Amino acid sequence: MTDGVIKYNFHFTPTAPLPKTAWEEIEAVRERLFAMKLIGEKAQIGYGNISRRIDSERFVITGTQTGHLPNLTAEHYAQIDTWNNETFTIHSSGATKPSSEALTHATIYNLSPDIKAVIHIHSKTIWNFMLSHHYPQTADVPYGSREMIEAVKTLYRNQNPLDKPKFAMKGHEEGVMTFGRDLREAEMVLYRIVGEILENSSNQA
Ligand SMILES: [Zn+2]
């Protein structure tokens, strides 16, 4: 590690694929975001991931290296069984390892028990728009680091995170997070930003 950044320790216990009830809602949202290339693959690196909380301890998230796939099945979903932002440890199960960005999702779930879904997409257009239009944004810190966890906590200090359930990750190019009380809400938050961009560009035309 050359950047001196502490990364999470991932512990993975392979199990049977997750039941459909655990991931079908995620899959419906993912299909739409993939169609818009907000989730996908660029230069052979997958990007974008979605998660949904099961209970206070656990959430289900898209698996690692799935960005290129238009549709996912049970084998492609992972369950986070415990996470700890003090010891930087994540335990997961399922038929695949979770996205490495699971820790960003975990950090957001830690903000409030009312947060039940998290979406992470990549888009240069949305990211640039958010950074230049005073949307919430985390400091310029590497993703997956202690600094990033602190940056997310700092961003939502002294306010209900669900009042501003979106931010651009300044230190993670093209990276945008939205979240909500359910998946639909997190998805709509994202679409509202896209709406702002479309309105802005038609005003300029
Ligand atoms: Zn990302």
CA of 205 from ligand 1 middle (Å) equals: 31
Domain count, the chain: 1
Q: What does DSSP assign to residue 172?
A: S
CA of 101 from ligand 1 middle (Å) equals: 7
Task: Report the CATH number at residue 166.
Answer: 3.40.225.10
CA of 46 from ligand 1 middle (Å) equals: 9
Q: Is residue 148 part of a domain?
A: yes
CA of 97 from ligand 1 middle (Å) equals: 16
Residue 6, pLDDT score = 53
Strand 49-53's sheet: what is its strand order?
9-14, 89-94, 77-84, 59-62, 49-53, 117-122, 175-180, 166-169, 137-138
Q: Is residue 92 part of a domain?
A: yes
Q: How far apart are CA 6 and CA 85, in angstroms?
A: 11
Q: Is residue 43 part of a domain?
A: yes
Q: Is residue 2 part of a domain?
A: no
Supply the range of the domain harboring residue 82.
9-204
Query: Residues near 106 by Cβ (< 8 Å), separated by ≥ 6?
Result: 59, 80, 83, 85, 90
CA of 57 from ligand 1 middle (Å) equals: 23
Instruction: Check pLDDT > 80 for residue 205.
Output: no
Q: Is residue 188 part of a domain?
A: yes
Q: Is residue 1 part of a domain?
A: no
Q: What does DSSP assign to residue 182?
A: S
pLDDT digits (tens, 9 = 90+) for 73-101: 999 999 999 998 788 889 999 999 998 88
- 153: tokens are 């906590």
CA of 74 from ligand 1 middle (Å) equals: 22
pLDDT digits (tens, 9 = 90+) for 150-173: 999 999 999 999 999 999 999 999
Q: Is residue 3 part of a domain?
A: no
CA of 39 from ligand 1 middle (Å) equals: 10
pLDDT digits (tens, 9 = 90+) for 92-145: 999 999 988 898 999 999 999 999 999 999 999 999 999 999 999 999 998 878
Q: Is residue 4 part of a domain?
A: no
CA of 22 from ligand 1 middle (Å) equals: 23
pLDDT digits (tens, 9 = 90+) for 14-61: 999 999 999 999 999 999 999 999 999 998 889 999 999 999 889 999
H/E run at residue 84 = strand 77-84
